[in-house]
Chains A and B, each alone.
Chain A
Amino acid sequence: MFIVAMGTLELKQSLTGHRGRVWSVGWHPKGTNLASCGEDKTIIIWGLEGAKWVTKMILTEGHSRTIRELAWSPCGSYIASASFDATTAVWDKKSGQFECNATLEGHENEVKSVSWSTSGELLATCSRDKSVWVWEVNNKLASDDEYECAAVINAHTQDVKKVRWHPREEILASASYDNTVKIFKEDAADSDWSCVASMSSHASTVWSLSWDKTGDRIATCSDDKTVKIWREYKPGNDMGVATPNNESVWKCVCTLSGYHTRTIYDIDWCKTTGLLVTACGDDIIRIFKEDSDCDPHQASFTMVCSVDSAHAQDVNCVQWNPTIPGQLASASDDSTVKIWFYNE
């Protein structure tokens, strides 16, 4: 018999300031600031004053339509924002304040997601135009930053919802309306980016994905109301998983079904605690913990927390603080951003 230790998710603060739907939140890499964006075409940067989170800065006029997602660079000096206006803006604070000094153009329509590689030298974007773009970042010089398109990858057959870099290597994962997740890598021989793995199992749109701390596993969430855990099997693996083309094969080792009642819009795998959190269209935030004694090739997770009406409407985004274990930020259609703390 299992005894499940339930944790509690404590609401620390509800942040208001956005008008309309908030699509995304992102923690500064040091966990000291939070940025959020949405339908009102602004980015709000939040910071602590004493024990209270307050608005530190509001970035406007970078985009002419909804800002769908933002991402801090690993150094914390840049913010990239992806917009329905088909551009990605890069904001820097060389002048002391965050300013939009570069606009990356090329996608045919809405840009849905943006992600920095761990080195900060690559940026990835994806769009409803079905493509994934890899940009080389050249900001080593004191002069103006340059962003050069290194690859346009057309591996998906539909709208691409999310891109996320591997936590250590220059390997990219994307999730799509075509129900698949794909992995991209640069071929050392001809420096061409190509799709090296495709994961099919979800029965509808894959909205988001999150790598685990090591980069050996990926968690995905979908409109099919399930979460899936995928594991990488490298060529020559002990399990005897065949690896044609001498490339890693990704296998679904766990499906969490029956927990979510609507579309799951986001998932984040905490790099410090290993906890999984999901954002769902049923207004609920749920937290899952991996069972300590489970077989890694047939993983099992237990739901350790579920907060009904965490928001008054759909939860669009959840993200663990990268430095403070247990601290969580969420964004919702109800115009609010919330800060939470998870206690085991």
Chain B
Amino acid sequence: MNENLENINPKLYKKLDDREITVEEQDEDVADEFDAREVFDIIRNINDPEHPLTLEELNVVEQDLIEVDDKKNRVDVKFTPTIPHCSMATLIGLSIRVQLLRALPARFKVSVEISPGTHVSEAAVNKQLADKERVAAALENAMLLGVINQCLAPKN
């Protein structure tokens, strides 16, 4: 590990067990709405940009901080940076956003925000993550997209 890490010893959290697939979910005739647990499963294994750990293991994302309203096409995710000065907050938010954009149907309006009171630049980071024009421009930046794809790549 390199010595430039901002948060050298992050606290680790226990992972959730795998979701049990119900009989109803396997029935193709039953409309299966998205819920917080499914959205959590989409983002829990995103890698932290500095640590060889997932966002779930660092408690950056939690199922309880996800709100889904399938009928209204809304997904609201709050994430908690590991430290209040985390300079990676925008990158982490962007990774969550990109993962959800790729995984969810286009009808969903996705909002990704910092959990209130957990980051010094909360308002500025939230504003940037909510600006779809700036997000689109960022994703056209090959270098940044490479970093994001690294966070999103599943580990073996």
Using Cβ atoms and an 8 Å threshold, which residues of chain B touch A204?
Answer: 127
Q: Does B133 belong to the interface (CB within 8 Å)?
A: yes
Using Cβ atoms and an 8 Å threshold, which residues of chain A touch B107?
Answer: 312-313
| Chain B, 95-143, CB within 8 A of any chain A CB | 106-107, 109, 127, 130-134, 136-137, 140
Q: Does A184 belong to the interface (CB within 8 Å)?
A: no
Interface of chain B, helix or strand or loop or mixed? helix
Contact B140 A66 (CB under 8 A): yes
How many residues of B are counted as interface, with CB atoms below 8 angstroms from the partner's CB atoms?
Answer: 12
Q: Given A312-B106, A312-B107, A334-B106, is A84 in contact with B137 using a C-beta cutoff of 8 Å?
A: yes
Using Cβ atoms and an 8 Å threshold, which residues of chain A touch B137?
Answer: 66, 84, 109-110, 128
| Chain B, 56-110, CB within 8 A of any chain A CB | 106-107, 109
A106 to B137 Cα, complex, angstroms: 18
How many residues of A are counted as interface, with CB atoms below 8 angstroms from the partner's CB atoms?
Answer: 25
A281 and chain B: residue at smallest CB distance: B109
Interface of chain A, helix or strand or loop or mixed? loop
Q: Does A268 belong to the interface (CB within 8 Å)?
A: no
Contact A262 B109 (CB under 8 A): yes
| Chain A, 278-318, CB within 8 A of any chain B CB | 281-282, 312-314
Using Cβ atoms and an 8 Å threshold, which residues of chain B touch A130?
Answer: none
Q: Does A205 belong to the interface (CB within 8 Å)?
A: yes
Contact B106 A313 (CB under 8 A): yes
Contact A205 B106 (CB under 8 A): no
A2 to B106 Cα, complex, angstroms: 40
Which one, A21, A84, A177, A333, contacts B131 given CB within 8 A?
Answer: A177
A263 to chain B minimum Cβ distance, whole angstroms, is 8
Counting chain A CB atoms within 10 Å of each CB, which of B127, B134, B136 scores highest?
Answer: B136
A223 to B129 Cα, complex, angstroms: 13
Using Cβ atoms and an 8 Å threshold, which residues of chain A touch B130?
Answer: 223, 263
A84 to B130 Cα, complex, angstroms: 18
Interface, chain B (partner A; CB < 8 A) = 106-107, 109, 127, 130-134, 136-137, 140
What would be 28 A-B contacts, judged by CB atoms less than 8 Å apart?
A21-B136, A39-B136, A66-B136, A66-B137, A66-B140, A68-B133, A84-B136, A84-B137, A84-B140, A109-B137, A112-B133, A128-B134, A159-B134, A161-B133, A177-B127, A177-B131, A204-B127, A205-B127, A205-B131, A223-B130, A281-B109, A312-B106, A312-B107, A313-B106, A313-B107, A314-B132, A333-B106, A334-B106
Interface, chain A (partner B; CB < 8 A) = 21, 39, 65-66, 68, 84, 109-110, 112, 128, 159, 161, 177, 204-205, 223, 262-263, 281-282, 312-314, 333-334
Give 4 closest A-B pairs by Cβ, nearest first.
A110-B137, A84-B137, A65-B140, A84-B140
